[in-house]
Copies of this chain bind each other. A is one copy, B any other.
Amino acid sequence: MMAHTLAKEKNMDKILRVNMSNLSTSSENVPAEWAGLGGRALTSTIVAKEVIPTCHPLGKNNKLVFAPGMLSGTAAANTGRLSAGAKSPLTGTIKESNVGGTAAQMFARLGIKAMIIEGLPTGDAWYGVHVSKDGVVITEETELIGKGNFAVVEALELRFGKKTGVLSIGTAGEMRMLTSNISVKDTDSKIRSHGRGGLGALMGSKKIKFIAIDDTAAPGITLADPDKFKEAARIFAKALISHPATGEGLPTFGTAEMVNIVNAAGGLPTRNFTYGQFEGRENISGETMRETIIERGGKPKHGCQSGCIIQCSQVYNDKDGNYVTSGLEYETIELMGANACVGNLDDIAAADYVMDDIGVDSIETAVTFGVAMEAGVLPFGDGKEVLRILTDEIGRGTPLGRILGSGAGNVGKIYGITRVPVVKNQGIPAYDPRSIKGIGITYATSTMGADHTAGYAVGTNLMGVGGGIVDPLKKDGQVDLSRHVQIAAIMLDSLGLCLFVGFPAADVPTCVPSLIDMLNARFGLELTPEWIGGLGMTTLKTERAFNIAAGFTNIHDRLPEFFEEPLLPHNAVWDFTGDEIDEFWNF
């Protein structure tokens, strides 16, 4: 049906291939079965089709696939997300890691539906990849090797022009560390990240330091029905602005608004997931961050992508008004601040900058510090030592840096620690699953390892998103909730939308229809809301099948044993049976 429908479409998009084994590039027409896909739906479909599930993630048989969302490149709000897919070096599962920044829209305007990087080069040389309307050029790179991401962005802007898009890895990715990410230049020449799953190690294994993108004279997007698109985009933008989360909470406090909300719910991971509330929360709350930013002349609002009308990002300055970091997210603040007890925004912001520069996932790294503190490697709360270890050890690949750069699960193994908050070897984000059980089901069942963005049940558990009430402390309804939001997340990740579109999509009746209208007006299709749900279910099953073929079973859809310990203030425990969790896959 898909192939037939899309035959009507005048789709001139291409699939680009970069083969690092022989340093060749090629482009091909989009196969019919991929034509109706974008973002995560496309990367997961390509990975499932072309990557041997049992392959070594850093070997020649893994592939790194980038795909902009289906609506990326258009003028519609918040549609600039890029998906990166592969077999994850960190988890061994299929992986889609989603990012803002400028790359998705540039790829889309260049008519690049997906870019597939395959093979491994022989020899020790490093390479840069340059993408423009004229094609792809691979060049040996020496100058930027060993450099951090900020220096790479700066140098590439000098080399190729200020507007150049950049995907790059820092020193962590060069060293193939499992916490390493892929950085993406944002609208201010700062950094957003394909954070999770160690995809920087994969790019490093392929010896690609950066991908520079030039969309000068790109063909751009052709809309099948420009008027219809414009009207639908207007309704969509209105829906975004009208929701209290995307219209007010996030723009005001950033994602850090969650500090007080999650603390009140008793689910704020503290001291390596020992407590559910943090005494020093006032010092790291979204409210405090906003005041601090305004006081110091930073920006309390900032978009991670052009066309963003939520503006949940920010620019954080030091006491002297100098830039420290941007995009300081709840996850980083909470996991470094409360879970590693570094209850101080300045220390967290400084660490955030270094993590961006060396190119490690701030979630995985912060969870790792919590485990390392439990192991006695450094004291809980020692923000200065965190900064030193990031800079001098992880950034330089000393033995201690290698240990911490390998992620929370490996640190647990290396030090023989049992309180290790990971699922499928990926660190658990900043919501304790005992007190917010819906997100626990997402951690357990996600095809990506522990991941809050894979199905953000927190919205419904704590903030009434979606209208119904699912008590965060009870088991009732959580499996259905997680399945619902996981399928919805695939829609967002496939269309190129940011996660927070999920709030109005659940609550504002005009939102989902406007998305469907935009898709139909973009491609000349007649899709229905049911089609979107079907895309989510199909993609989830495709990802699950890959994982099963890679050796994963229901037994891996479990949380760590230590979550049987009661968590104050509710004495909440993780009490789902395996059979109850496995109901997730009953669709």
Residues of A within 8 A of B (CB): 53-56, 58-59, 61, 89, 175-178, 201, 204-205, 398-400, 402-403, 405-406, 410, 413-418, 549-553, 555-556, 558, 560-562
Contacts and interface: CB of A to CB of B under 8 A. Distances in A.
Nearest to A561: B56
B556 A551 contact: yes
A551 B425 CA distance: 14
A126 to B, nearest CB: 15
Given A399-B398, A399-B400, A403-B402, A58 B416 contact: yes
Contacts of A560: 56
Contacts of A398: 399
A508 to B, nearest CB: 42
A58 B418 contact: yes
B414 A56 contact: no
Nearest to A57: B418
Given A54-B558, A56-B418, A61-B561, A406 B399 contact: no
Contacts of A552: 551
A554 to B, nearest CB: 8
B402 A561 contact: no
Contacts of A417: 58
B176 A416 contact: yes
A428 to B, nearest CB: 15
Contacts of A177: 416
Nearest to A204: B416
Closest 6 CB pairs of A and B: A176-B416, A551-B555, A399-B399, A399-B400, A406-B414, A59-B418
Contacts of A89: 416
A54 B560 CA distance: 9
A75 to B, nearest CB: 41
Given A204-B416, A403-B399, A403-B403, A555 B410 contact: no
23 contacts: A54-B555, A54-B558, A54-B561, A56-B560, A59-B418, A59-B561, A59-B562, A61-B561, A175-B416, A176-B415, A177-B416, A178-B413, A178-B416, A204-B416, A399-B402, A402-B403, A406-B414, A410-B414, A550-B555, A551-B552, A551-B553, A551-B555, A551-B556
Contact of A205 (B410, B416, B556): B416
A250 to B, nearest CB: 36
Nearest to A177: B416
Contacts of A55: 561
Given A56-B418, A56-B560, A550-B555, A406 B413 contact: yes
A450 to B, nearest CB: 16
A556 B555 CA distance: 14
Contacts of A414: 178, 402-403, 405-406, 410
Contact of A410 (B176, B399, B410, B553): B410
Nearest to A551: B555
Given A58-B416, A58-B418, A178-B413, 17 more contacts: A53-B555, A54-B561, A56-B418, A58-B417, A59-B418, A59-B562, A89-B416, A178-B414, A398-B399, A399-B399, A399-B400, A399-B402, A402-B403, A402-B415, A403-B414, A410-B413, A551-B552
A536 to B, nearest CB: 26
